[in-house]
Amino acid sequence: MDFDLSKPQKLLKQSARELLARECPPARVRRALEAHDEELWQTIVEQGWTDLLSIGLVELAVVMEEAGRVCMPGPFLPTIFAGAVLQGIGATEELGERKATVAIADEQGVAHFVMEAHVADVIVMVSGRPARQPSGVPPGGNDTVRIIAARDVPPAARIRRTPSMDETRKLCTMSFDGEAPALRGDVSEAVDIATIALCAEMVGGMQWVLDTTVDYAKTRQQFGKPIGSFQAVQHQCADMLLLTESARSATYYAAYERSPLAVSIAKAYCSDAYREVCNKGIQVHGGIGFTWEHDLQFFLKRGKTGAHLYGTAREHRERVAELTGLGTS
């Protein structure tokens, strides 16, 4: 089987890379730390990226990889997640140009780690499943989904910003005490779709860290020669390449396969690999990578927070064990 990208997918990848290199430079990422970048969001909408799920999951992964390569800020990922939830439960609601997010509530009706809720136009409130575990409730339509327009959120909902390591993607805590029409459905597939999108974003971030580290190793002089000529540094870069390519293979296989097992394997691997790639990149940079002046710190923080979104590596390994029967006694 040929898992290479098709010609249209390669063209999509190239156009996304060129657009984001132009429209989302590091300086713009830094500005997004202070406030939502509405102009960047409109650029995404004009490209039709918010509707990529209707074209194909591989196409979504292609664009998400390029978004991760520039550490793109904003509500793109949670909007994709919200669209997948609505599509999965057969809702007639269309997001269009609206920003959206998903709030998975606990037994007390409180949702933690809700991405970009403070700027969302639509909030998809889900109850009936654990907020973090990837397996959630068993399939069968046990989730309750409420679609809430931001203007209809009552003051009692208390959308509060939550301090986060990665401030390019704001997190919030939310509770909803009002009434909204409830739909029933299973959102497990939507969680898997969002997880694949996140993994693709992680791959893009790993690729940036790898490329930047290799370029640095070629130019940084020590003892009168580039540090890339030292075997220890070469080994670090080789390990980073192996981790990045393995993560890419696992992610795109999951996008092709769309099975829960493939998704959990990809997320478990990417969560660990992104951390390792950033750690090695910082080591080769001699520590400057995690300083405020260097852009590598954004990718380190994105990888740290991404490792906990949609299930940690440990939770996904437990899911792999369950799906393969290895977790049974």
Write out the two tokens for 302.
């994105």
pLDDT at 139: 47
pLDDT at 141: 55
**How far does CA 12 lie from the centroid of its chain?**
19
Q: For residue range 205-263, what is the model confidence (pLDDT) as tens digits?
A: 999 999 999 999 999 988 889 988 899 999 999 999 999 999 999 999 999 999 999 99
In this structure, how many other beta carbons lie within 10 angstroms of the beta carbon of residue 291?
11
Paired strand residues for 146: 125, 182
Torsion of CA 255, 256, 258, 260, to 10 degrees: -80
Buried b (16+ CB within 10 A) or exposed e, 111-120: bbbbbbbbbb
Q: In angstroms, rounded to a whole number, what is the distance separating the alpha carbons of residues 329 and 324?
A: 12
114, pLDDT greater than 70: yes
Q: What is the pTM of this model?
A: 0.93
157, pLDDT greater than 80: no
* Residue 43: partners with Cβ closer than 8 Å, 6 or more residues away: 19, 23
3, pLDDT greater than 90: no
Place of tokens 């070469």: 234
pLDDT at 136: 42
Q: How far apart are the first and last CA of the chain?
A: 36
Q: For residue range 280-307, what is the model confidence (pLDDT) as tens digits?
A: 999 999 878 778 899 999 999 999 999 9
By C-alpha distance, which of 93, 123, 265, 126 is closest to 192?
265
Report phi then psi at 94, rounded to 5: -115, 135
Mean pLDDT of the residues in the chain: 90
Q: Is the C-alpha dihedral spanning 22, 114, 48, 210 positive or negative? A: positive
Q: In angstroms, rounded to a whole number, what is the distance separating the alpha carbons of residues 35 and 55?
A: 31
If you average pLDDT over residues 72-101, what whole number do you get?
93
Write out the two tokens for 137.
């409730």
pLDDT at 326: 83
Share of the chain above pLDDT 90, in %: 71
If you average pLDDT over residues 77-92, what whole number do you get?
93
**How far does CA 41 lie from the centroid of its chain?**
16
pLDDT at 287: 74
| 137 — pLDDT class (breaks 50, 70, 90) | very low
Q: In angstroms, rounded to a whole number, what is the distance separating the alpha carbons of residues 221 and 148?
A: 56
If you average pLDDT over residues 55-67, what whole number do you get?
97
